[in-house]
C-alpha cells in the first residue's frame, strides 16, 4: 500500500480530568506523514491523554485535534477506522484466545477477511504460535504484543503507540522496531515514550512540558 | 482498511456473536438468572402451594421473577466491560450506538432463554389456569423488549460511574415501573378473559420510546 498523505495537528488543545488535574494544556503542533514522531515528557505530562484524544476516544476540554487523510478531515467518531492505538490501558477478553480477540475486532471493523487479518497481525508481532491460547494465560509481554497486533489489524494510516516496549523482551522490542520501520513508510507513527531507544526511532519529537507529577496544577 | 460508517450492521452482528460466545464460555449471567428463577418459584410454591384462582398474585409473581432473573445479568452488560477494562477495545472498533445495539440484541436473546425456562416452570409449579397463548405471548414479548431496552440504556449510562450498583437501582426503578405495571395488568387480563390491547399498546409504545431515546443518547456516552 502506498503512503497516505496524513496530517495530525492541534491548536489550543487542553484536557482536564476533574477540576484541578490537567492532562494536556494549551498544546499546539502539526505533523505530516509519512514519518515517526516521539511524544516525550515527564510522568503525568499528558502523553497518553494526547494519544487518546488523537484516537477519538477522549474529547478534549478545549480545542481539538485535527486528523486529515488525503486532504480530508476525519471526524472524531470515525477516527477509530483510520487510527490504530496500542496503550497499556487496552485490555482483551480473557475468556477468548488472542486470535479470537483479533478476529472479533476485525469483524467489528468490517474487514473483508478477518481471519487473515488476525493471522497477519499476530505474525507481525511474533505471537502466531500462541494465538490459540486464551488471553488469561498470557504473560504481560504477550499481552503487550497483542496490543500491538490489535493496533496494526486494520492497516491504519496513523499508528499511536503508548510505551510500546513496556513488558517486552529483546525479541519483542525488535518486533516493535520492525513494525515502526515498516509503518513509517506508509503513514504517521506517534510514539509516546521516554525510552531513549524508542525516541531514536523518530525523526521528529514533541515534548510535553506543561504539567508533570511535580506540578499538579 | 475498514469502510467506516457504512459497516454498522456487521459491527452490531459481531458484538452480538461476541456476547453469545462470552456468555457460553463463562455462564456469567445465565446460571445466575436461572438459579434465581428456579429457587424463587420453588420457594414461593412450596410456601403458598398452588394458586390457580389468584390471577392477581400469579401475574405479579411471574413478572417479579422475570424482572429480577433478567436484571441480575442484563444490568452487568456494560459494567463487565468497564471492570475488565475491555470497553476501550470495544470503543476502538465500534461506535457507541453499534456497541449498545449489539448488547440490546444480546439482552433480548438472553431474555428469550430466561422466558423459555421460567414460564413453563412457572405454569407447572403454580398450577396456573390455562393461558390464552396469543395475548400472553404478546404481553410477554413486548414487556421483554421494553425490559431489555431500559436495562441496556441504564447499563450504558452508568457504566463509567463509580457507584454503579446504587445508580442502577435508582435510575432503573422509574424506568421499569411502567413495564412492570403494564406487564402485570396485561398478564392478569389474559387470565381473566379481558382484552389486553391497552396494556400491549402501552408496552409497545414504551419500548419504542425507550429505543428512540437510546439511539439519540448512545453516541454521546463515554466522552470521559
Interface size, chain A vs chain B, as Cβ–Cβ contacts under 8 Å? 90
- Output the pLDDT for position B5: 46
Q: What distances in angstroms separate CA B26 from CA A107, B19, B32, B214, one per listed residue?
A: 22, 10, 11, 28
Distant-in-sequence, close-in-space partners of B65: CB < 8 Å, separation ≥ 6? B36, B37, B40, B41, B118, B122
Taking an 8 Å cut-off on Cβ atoms, the answer to whether B15 and A108 are in contact is: yes
Q: Which residue of B has its CA nearest to A152?
A: B1
Residue B90 cell numbers, joined: 470495544
Alpha helices in A125-214 (DSSP H): 140-152, 170-184, 196-199
Q: Which residues of B touch A96 (CB under 8 A)?
A: 21-22, 25
Spell out which residues of chain B touch residue A82, defining contact as CB-CB under 8 Å: 1
Residue of B nearest to A106 (CA): B93
Q: Domain total for chain B?
A: 1
* Chain A CB within 8 Å of residue B94 CB: yes
| Contact assessment for residue A136 and residue A94, using Cβ atoms and an 8 Å cutoff | yes
Q: Which three cell numbers stand for residue B134?
A: 396469543
Closest CB to B89: pick one of A92, A155, A156.
A92
A107 lies within 8 A of chain B by CB: yes
B184 located within any domain:
yes
* Continuous segment of H or E residues that includes residue A191: strand A188-192
Angle at B122 between CA B120 and CA B128, to 5 degrees: 100
pTM of the model: 0.89
Burial of B220 (0-12, 13-18, 19+ CB in 10 A): exposed
Residues of A in contact with B6 (CB under 8 A): 110
pLDDT at residue A217 in the model: 38
Residues of chain A with C-beta less than 8 angstroms from the C-beta of B222: 57
Task: Judge whether A29 is closer than 8 Å to chain B, CB to CB.
Answer: no
In this prediction, residue B166 carries a pLDDT of 75
In this predicted structure, what is the pLDDT of residue B82? 85
The answer to ipTM > 0.90 is yes
Q: Does residue B224 fall inside a structural domain?
A: no
Report helix, strand or coil for A127: coil
- Any B CB within 8 A of A93 CB: yes
From B141's Cα to the closest Cα of chain A, the distance in A is 29
Q: What is the pLDDT along chain B (224 residues), one digit of tens a residue?
A: 665 444 588 999 999 999 999 999 988 788 888 899 899 999 988 888 877 789 999 999 999 999 988 887 777 778 888 888 999 999 999 998 899 899 999 999 999 999 999 999 999 999 899 999 999 999 999 999 999 999 888 888 887 777 777 777 788 888 899 999 999 999 999 999 999 999 999 999 999 999 898 888 887 777 65
Strand A6-17 and strand A21-32: the pairing is: antiparallel
Hey, is the C-beta of B83 within 8 angstroms of any chain A C-beta? no
Report phi then psi at A102, rounded to 5.
-70, -35
Burial tier of A126 (Cβ tally within 10 Å: 0-12, 13-18, 19+): middle
Q: What is the pLDDT of residue A19?
A: 67
Does B109 map to a domain?
yes
Residue A21's pLDDT band, with cuts at 50, 70 and 90, is low
- Please indicate whether, in this complex, the C-beta atoms of A108 and B14 are within 8 angstroms of each other: yes
Query: Is B205 within a domain?
Result: yes
Q: Which residue in A85, A150, A155 is closest to B1 by CB distance?
A: A155
B141's enclosing H/E stretch is: helix B133-158
Residue A210 has pLDDT above 70, yes or no: no
Q: Is residue B223 part of a domain?
A: no
Residue B162 lies in a domain: yes
Residue with cell 509519512: A34
φ and ψ of A40, to 5 deg: -120, 170
CB neighbourhood size of B121 (10 A): 17
Residue B177: CB atoms within 10 Å:
10
Cα torsion for B194, B195, B201, B203, to the nearest 10°? 30
Check if B201 contacts A (Cβ < 8 Å): no
Q: Which domain holds residue B98?
A: 4-218
Work out the end-to-end distance of chain B between its first and last CA atoms, rounded to an integer number of angstroms.
Answer: 27
Amino acid at each position: 500500500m502506498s503512503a497516505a498523505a496524513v496530517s495530525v495537528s492541534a491548536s489550543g488543545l487542553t484536557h482536564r480530568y476533574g477540576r484541578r488535574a490537567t492532562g494536556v494544556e494549551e498544546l499546539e503542533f502539526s505533523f505530516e506523514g509519512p514519518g515517526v514522531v516521539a511524544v516525550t515528557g515527564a510522568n503525568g505530562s499528558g502523553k497518553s491523554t494526547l494519544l487518546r484524544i488523537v484516537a477519538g476516544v477522549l474529547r478534549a476540554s478545549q480545542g481539538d485535534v485535527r486528523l486529515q487523510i488525503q486532504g480530508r478531515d476525519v471526524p472524531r467518531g470515525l477516527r477509530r477506522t483510520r487510527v490504530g492505538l496500542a496503550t497499556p490501558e487496552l485490555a482483551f477478553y480473557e475468556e477468548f484466545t488472542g486470535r479470537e480477540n483479533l478476529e472479533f475486532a476485525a469483524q467489528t471493523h468490517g474487514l473483508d477477511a478477518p481471519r487473515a487479518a488476525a493471522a497477519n497481525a499476530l505474525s507481525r508481532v511474533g505471537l502466531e504460535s500462541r494465538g490459540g491460547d486464551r488471553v488469561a494465560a498470557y504473560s504481560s509481554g504477550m499481552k503487550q504484543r497483542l496490543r500491538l497486533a490489535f493496533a496494526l489489524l486494520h492497516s491504519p494510516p496513523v499508528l499511536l503507540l503508548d510505551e510500546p516496549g513496556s513488558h517486552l523482551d529483546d525479541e519483542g522490542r525488535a518486533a516493535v522496531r520492525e513494525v515502526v520501520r515498516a509503518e513509517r513508510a506508509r503513514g504517521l507513527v506517534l510514539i509516546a515514550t521516554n525510552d531513549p531507544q524508542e525516541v531514536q526511532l523518530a525523526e521528529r519529537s514533541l515534548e510535553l512540558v506543561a504539567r508533570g507529577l511535580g506540578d499538579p496544577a | 482498511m475498514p469502510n467506516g460508517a457504512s459497516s454498522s450492521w456487521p459491527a452490531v452482528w459481531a458484538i452480538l456473536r461476541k456476547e453469545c460466545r462470552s456468555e457460553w464460555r463463562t455462564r456469567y449471567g445465565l446460571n445466575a438468572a436461572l438459579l434465581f428463577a428456579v429457587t424463587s418459584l420453588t420457594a414461593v410454591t412450596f410456601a403458598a402451594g398452588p394458586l390457580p384462582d389468584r390471577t392477581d398474585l400469579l401475574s405479579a409473581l411471574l413478572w417479579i421473577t422475570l424482572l429480577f432473573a433478567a436484571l441480575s445479568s442484563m444490568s452487568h452488560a456494560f459494567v463487565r466491560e468497564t471492570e475488565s477494562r475491555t470497553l476501550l477495545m470495544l470503543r476502538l472498533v465500534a461506535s457507541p450506538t453499534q456497541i449498545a445495539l449489539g448488547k440490546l440484541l444480546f439482552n433480548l436473546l438472553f431474555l428469550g432463554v430466561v422466558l423459555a425456562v421460567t414460564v413453563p416452570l412457572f405454569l407447572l409449579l403454580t398450577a396456573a389456569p390455562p393461558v390464552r397463548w396469543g395475548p400472553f405471548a404478546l404481553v410477554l414479548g413486548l414487556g421483554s423488549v421494553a425490559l431489555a431496552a431500559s436495562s441496556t440504556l441504564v447499563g450504558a449510562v452508568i457504566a463509567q460511574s463509580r457507584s454503579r450498583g446504587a445508580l442502577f437501582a435508582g435510575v432503573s426503578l422509574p424506568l421499569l415501573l411502567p413495564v412492570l405495571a403494564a406487564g402485570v395488568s396485561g398478564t392478569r387480563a389474559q387470565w381473566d378473559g379481558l382484552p389486553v390491547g391497552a396494556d400491549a399498546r402501552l408496552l409497545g409504545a414504551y419500548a419504542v420510546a425507550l429505543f428512540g431515546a437510546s439511539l439519540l443518547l448512545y453516541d454521546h456516552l463515554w466522552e470521559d
